Every structure is written in structure tokens, then in C-alpha cells.
Structure 1
Amino acid sequence: MSVNSAESAMNQLKTDDAAVQNALSYLQEHTSFMSSMSSTVDTLRSDLANCYQAQSSATFQSKVNEWIDSYMGLKAAVQQLQDDLSTAHQTIGRAEEEITQNAGSWNTTDGSDPVFQALHG
């Protein structure tokens, strides 16, 4: 993608910001859902253990425990993705603020600023 002006760059940044915010919101909702599902499965396993005492029940409970452990590992990976995306988003936001401050410190709008001249070529 080509950026032809500061305005188009800012519009792109705003679009990306909204997309990141939507992704973070979705990931938060999904990790909450995953926690709920894990809890539901564990409750069912516990109820079965209380009501059905047999080797087949113990084997089933063991398999459910393995599933819960794997699911919690997956949930931790989704949470890590959310944390990493949030950190990257904050870093980019701070960089954008710094760039805006630096750009605002140029003393001219007519192109006579030495930094503008150096960058303009």
C-alpha cells in the first residue's frame, strides 16, 4: 500500500486502530468463553465422578482431565496472543504520538524548515 499524504497515513492509522481494537475485544470475549467452557466440562466431570464409581468412569475422567489440560494450554496461547497484540498496539500508539509531536515541532508550513528540506530531497 502506498501512502501519498499525511492525511491518508492518518486515515490508515485510524482504520488499523479500529481493527486492532476489534481484535482485542474479540480475543477478550473468546478467552472468557473458553474459561466458561472449561469450567462447564470440569463440573460435568466432577458430577460424573460423584455419581458413577467404576474403572470406566475413572478412565473417562482421566481423558477429560487431559482434554481440560490441553484446552487450558490453548486458552493460555490465545491469552498470550491478546497480550502481545495489546503490547504491540500500545507501542505503535506511543510511536505515533512521538512522531506527531516531532512533526508538530517543525517551524514552518511553507517548506523552508531544514528538516523538511532534507527529507524532501
Structure 2
Amino acid sequence: MRRFVLLLDLKDDPELIAAYRRWHAPGGPPAAVVASIRASGITDMEIHICGERLVMLVEAEDGFSFAAKAAADAADPEVMAWEAMMDRFQKALPWAKPGEKWTPAERIFALAEQP
């Protein structure tokens, strides 16, 4: 099992943030989007919000690949429609690579590794 932590900002607009929250409430994302997440090898996903900053926690099978998920998503019109809609709410972090939406975080501390 692998764990990933990714970050993204929302546009600074209370109405957009409220709408984004509604779209992510139980039953909000289209079934095709949820199915694509599960089919990719992701076993658990959570998104947390603090102000405009989002943090996504992803648990995935050992063979999971973001590149393979992106390729599968690109071939799915329903997932691409969802992503296009989400673009209206989201903005990349200032230090994100060109074209990068969710930016991976680097783990710098683990309690289990401490003496």
C-alpha cells in the first residue's frame, strides 16, 4: 500500500468554495468519477480544506501510477467533464510545475522513524 499527499488551492471566492464543498459532499461527484478513482487502484481518498488550501490524502495499491490514471481519465469523457468543471474552482500552487494541478507534498517527518 502506498500513501500520497497532494495540495491544491481554490480560488479566493466564498461562493466558489461553497459550491466546491457541495460537489464533494457524499453523492456529489458523478458515479463515473468515483468508479475511475477506484478502478485506478486507489483504495481510499480524502480531501481536507483549510481556507483556500486543499490537502488530498490518497491510499493506493502498490502498482498504482498517476500517469496510468491520467491516461485512463483522458479516455473517459465523463471524467474529463468533471475535471473541466473543477478547473473553474481550482488554481495551482505558485510553485507547481507547468500543467500540474495537484502538487505532491514531500514527507519530512514520520514519528515511526524517530528514536
Please classify the TM superposition score into its range, dividing by the shorter chain length: under 0.3
Computing the radius of gyration from Cα coordinates, the structure with the larger value is: 1
Structure (1 or 2) with the greater helix fraction: 1
| TM-score of the pair, normalised by structure 2 | 0.25
- State the TM-score, normalized to the length of structure 1: 0.24
* Greater strand content: 2
Higher relative contact order (CA 8 A, sep 6+): 2
